[in-house]
Amino acid sequence: MTEHTPLPLSFHARDPVKVARALLGMDLVHLHQGRLRAGRIVETEAYVGPHDLACHSSKGRTPRTEVMFGPPGHAYLFLVYGMHLCVNVVVGEGAAVLIRALEPLEGLEDLRTDGPGRLTRALGLTLKLNARPLDEAPLFVARGVPVPPRHIEASPRIGVDYAGEWAAKPLRFHDRRSMFVSRRAR
């Protein structure tokens, strides 16, 4: 089994765009019922704070968004369209980074991990993981190989057309070399 070293919570305590770029090449690991499932992060989106109209925290502090105002490095999970979970890394101050695609590393054979809903299903994540720290089991971000800036492409975020001028901002990032970015990101 591959070695997986959790990153410290302080890794995520930076400008949200920097975190979104720095997470590319890191690993997302889920340890559950004796199964280890892990993938390399190849696509992210930054939701930069309450002033960002695409960001859930722009609705203010609610029971759901409270975790985004908490300490960096914790998980923010939510259900969209009644059946798909999305997983974010909290940056703090109302900001978070959505993980949109993984390259399978371990325990994900024959499962699709290109897309925010697919990857949470493949990893077996549940809403119960919401607000948990991401530096320890069962769910953590592990040290990987950073993606050099020349291989990172920025583009508009997916599915946020309602967000006015914020919809067009280049806050999605992906590793150009990866075959596993979600379809609409290529």
Partner DNA sequence: GCGGTGATAGAT
Partner DNA sequence: TCTATCACCGCC
Write out the residues near DNA by the rule CB under 7 A: 45, 47, 54-57, 59-60, 62-65, 76, 78-84, 86, 88, 96, 98, 112, 115-119, 127, 157-160, 162, 182
| Closest of 93, 77, 175 to residue 132, by C-alpha | 77
- Would you say 111 or 152 has its CB closer to DNA? 111
- DSSP annotation string for 79-122: EETTTEEEEEEEEETTEEEEEEEEEEEES-TT---BSHHHHHHH
Residue 161 three-state SS: helix
- Spatial contact of 68 and 16, defined as CB atoms under 8 Å apart: no
CB of 184: closest distance to DNA in angstroms?
8
- Report in angstroms how near the CB of residue 179 gets to DNA at its nearest: 16
Query: Minimum distance between the CB of residue 174 and DNA, rounded to whole angstroms?
Result: 14
Which CB sits closer to DNA, 80 or 137? 80
Q: Which is nearer to DNA, 7 or 87 (CB)?
A: 87
